């Protein structure tokens, strides 16, 4: 399939480009941007490790327009949310297949918000899009929500979440490029990230909700979040305190996490990790520097699993790569799932 990438020169866009290099199903042929329109992709300010993949160097960055998307079968979006709002809606209304990383459509009742291992069944919302003659359009969640919700899934299935208190320690690349000024973040942490806590609260409940009558009934547990920016380049850490309806045994919970696998693994999708959740027993793991690249950044790493204040509560820490599992890699995995199910 020929694919386009909107916002392909930013922090997430570059990760897409790297992960689409040599992809067995998707051929990247169009890249859009704003300030870099007209440049060869090989001339953009590449901020990832290694070089710009050879096969994309001569693509000339175009502006967002329906004209530039004429020849493609699928559009990935890594646009800033403000820019995404109108354009993604227009693509959806015109029936141009879209998989987006931006928050613009995530809370639209017609649009599935998906972590491929957590709620692949929510893709059934696309039936309603078809009836209305729009889409297919699907989104993946915010990076912190992704890292948090992957391990919550098997625990929620087993014990039923009642209440969730989380604190995130978020990497600089989560703010895009150039992101937070160095003067603000070196020798410092910043206890506020605009809009992030609301995203964690709302998206977690949509992801763990159930489709009923063609719409998602949000999960009913309470969520409280504090989101903090820290001077780490890549990899978000989340400290989780989860309280469940049922009693929880930390050892059994660790086994559920370690053994968790889902549809992307059964379908052997090209970008699926063998094990989406890794568990570490050392008292000083997971750490962003050592654990963000588990299975190429597509797995999250959980550690410090222990009892909370009562028999219904569990504490743990999880780390995941925010631009791979939290953005580009997950969007590619979602598109693979949609392809495997003949939605695109």
Ligand X SMILES: NC(=O)c1ccc[n+]([C@@H]2O[C@H](COP(=O)([O-])OP(=O)(O)OC[C@H]3O[C@@H](n4cnc5c(N)ncnc54)[C@H](OP(=O)(O)O)[C@@H]3O)[C@@H](O)[C@H]2O)c1
Query: In this chain, which of 52, 74, 99, 102 binds ligand X, going by CB under 6 A?
Result: 102
Site for ligand X in 233-262 (CB under 6 A): none
Catalytic residue among 122, 156, 236, 321: 236
| Alpha-carbon radius of gyration of the chain | 19
Q: Which of residues 103-132 bind ligand X (CB under 6 A)?
A: 103
* Nearest alpha-carbon partner for 339 in 253, 235, 269: 269
90/157 with CB nearer ligand X:
90
| Contact map string, positions 133 to 162, toward ligand X, x by CB under 6 A | ---------xx-------------------
Closer to ligand X by CB, 203 or 243: give it. Answer: 203
Residue 11 found at the interface with ligand X (CB under 6 A): yes
Comparing CB distances to ligand X, the nearer of 109 and 178 is 178
Rounded Cα gap, residues 255 and 190, in angstroms: 35
Number of helices (H), then strands (E), in the chain? 10, 13
Tell me, yes or no, if 122 is annotated catalytic: no
CA–CA distances in Å: residue 230 to residues 4, 122, 222, 305, 340: 33, 33, 26, 23, 38
Looking at the Cβ atoms of 78 and 238, the one nearer to ligand X is 78
Angle at 76 between CA 95 and CA 167, to 5 degrees: 120
Beta strand residue intervals within 261-323, DSSP E: 277-279, 300-307, 313-320
Residue 232 as a binder of ligand X (CB under 6 A): the answer is: no
Whose tokens are 């309470």? That residue is: 222
In sequence order, what are the residues at sequence separation of 6 or more whose Cβ sits closer than 8 angstroms to the Cβ of residue 92? 98, 105, 111, 129, 134, 135, 137
- Please tell me whether residue 329 binds ligand X under the rule CB under 6 A: no
In the complex, the smallest distance separating the C-beta of residue 60 from ligand X, rounded to whole angstroms, is 12
83 contacts ligand X (rule: CB under 6 A): yes
CA distance 33 to 62: 6
Q: Which of 7, 151, 235, 308 binds ligand X (CB under 6 A)?
A: 7
Active site residue 236: yes
Find the binder of ligand X among 69, 97, 101, 208 (CB under 6 A): 101
Q: Which residues are catalytic?
A: 143, 236
Binding site for ligand X (CB under 6 A): 6-13, 32-36, 64, 78-81, 83, 101-103, 142-143, 173-174, 176-177, 322-323, 326-327
């Amino acid at each position: 399939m020929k694919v386009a990438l909107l916002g392909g020169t930013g922090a997430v866009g570059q990760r897409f480009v790297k992960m689409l290099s040599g992809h067995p199903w998707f051929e990247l042929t169009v890249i859009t941007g704003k300030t870099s329109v007209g440049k060869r992709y090989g001339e953009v300010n590449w901020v990832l490790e290694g070089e710009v993949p050879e096969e994309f160097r001569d693509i000339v960055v175009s502006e967002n327009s329906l004209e530039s998307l004429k020849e493609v079968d699928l559009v990935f979006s890594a646009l800033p949310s403000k820019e995404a709002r109108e354009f993604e809606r227009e693509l959806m209304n015109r029936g141009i297949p879209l998989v987006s990383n931006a928050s613009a459509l995530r809370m639209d009742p017609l649009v599935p918000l998906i972590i491929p291992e957590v709620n692949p069944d929510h893709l059934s919302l696309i039936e309603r899009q078809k009836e209305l003659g729009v889409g297919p359009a699907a989104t993946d969640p915010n990076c912190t929500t992704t890292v948090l919700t992957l391990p919550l899934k098997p625990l929620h299935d087993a014990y039923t979440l009642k209440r969730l208190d989380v604190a995130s320690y978020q990497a600089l690349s989560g703010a895009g490029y150039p992101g937070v000024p160095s003067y603000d973040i070196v020798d410092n942490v910043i206890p506020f990230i605009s809009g992030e806590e609301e995203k964690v609260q709302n998206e977690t409940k949509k992801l763990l909700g159930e489709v009923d009558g063609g719409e998602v009934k949000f999960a009913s547990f309470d969520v409280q979040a504090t989101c903090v920016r820290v001077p780490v380049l890549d990899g978000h850490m989340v400290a989780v305190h989860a309280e469940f309806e049922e009693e929880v045994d930390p050892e059994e919970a660790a086994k559920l996490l370690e053994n968790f696998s889902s549809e992307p693994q059964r379908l052997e999708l090209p970008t699926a990790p063998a094990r989406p959740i890794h568990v570490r027993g050392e008292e000083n793991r997971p750490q962003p520097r050592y654990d963000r690249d588990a299975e190429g950044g597509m797995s999250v790493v959980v550690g410090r699993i222990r009892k909370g204040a009562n028999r219904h509560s569990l504490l743990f820490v999880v780390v995941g790569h925010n631009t791979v599992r939290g953005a580009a890699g997950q969007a590619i995995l979602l598109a693979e799932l949609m392809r495997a199910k003949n939605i695109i």
